[in-house]
Amino acid sequence: MDIDMKAMKSEMGGAFVLSWIVFGMGLGTIEGAVALAVTWMAFSGAHILPVVTWSHIMTGDLADTEGNWMANGMRLVGQMVGAILAILLATEAGGIETGWAATEMWIPDIADNLWAVLGMIAAGAVWWQVHTRCDSAWASAFGLMVLGGAMTLTGAHEMGASITSAGDGIADTLVNWICDGLFVGIGAFVGCQVDGLIGEEE
């Protein structure tokens, strides 16, 4: 498998900026949305957020293990590495206490979280249509600002924090990182299918 080093560098750079600067502003704020849009423009072509990568995976050729799964999987790794570097810088390699604690795995209680899962899927469906139709980092970023409450956008940052904390809560964090992105990606897939059906009827 050939690794696209340009894509990897962009993912690392973008995730570094998000973890170091943007998440402190909060992506649900105007400032956070502007910073995310600028980051997407600066690192053109980078997904930067795991939910974007998962949406690409789920709307791509699911049978293409190398071109779709492996290429996008490497992007997820790049995002994690960028977050790790930012966290090491921001905490002076662990010298500054952040009070970070891993979020408990929520999948075992999926019945209790059914509405949250449906919200992730719906948010993924709506946001992916904005992201793919508007061809604008601004529209995508402000769409995430509006819908971000239904999606976990800090997946790479959480993974980076767990790894730099000597693997604290890594199992819970890993499952959340995968499932949070996967459900948004399923939403993106559903949105594309609905859009295709509407297009056929017109």
Q: Is the pLDDT of residue 160 over 80?
A: yes
Query: 48-62, 69-83, 138-152: which has the minimum mean pLDDT?
Result: 138-152
With a CB cutoff of 8 Å and minimum separation 6, the contacts of 182 are 54, 58
Residue 202 has pLDDT above 70, yes or no: no
Specify whether the CB–CB gap between 165 and 105 falls below 8 A.
no
Whether 24 has a pLDDT exceeding 80, the answer reads no
Confidence category of residue 97, pLDDT binned at 50, 70, 90: confident
Assign residue 15 the CATH number of its domain.
1.20.1080.10
Distance CA 43, CA 48 (A): 8
With 0.75 as the threshold, say if the pTM is over it.
Answer: yes
CA pair distance 93, 75, nearest whole angstrom: 24
**pLDDT at residue 4 in the model:** 82
Report, as an integer, the average pLDDT of 63-87: 91
Domain count, the chain: 1
What is the average pLDDT score of the chain? Answer: 89
Q: If pLDDT is split at 50, 70 and 90, which confidence band does 124 have?
A: very high
**Domain containing residue 65:** 5-201
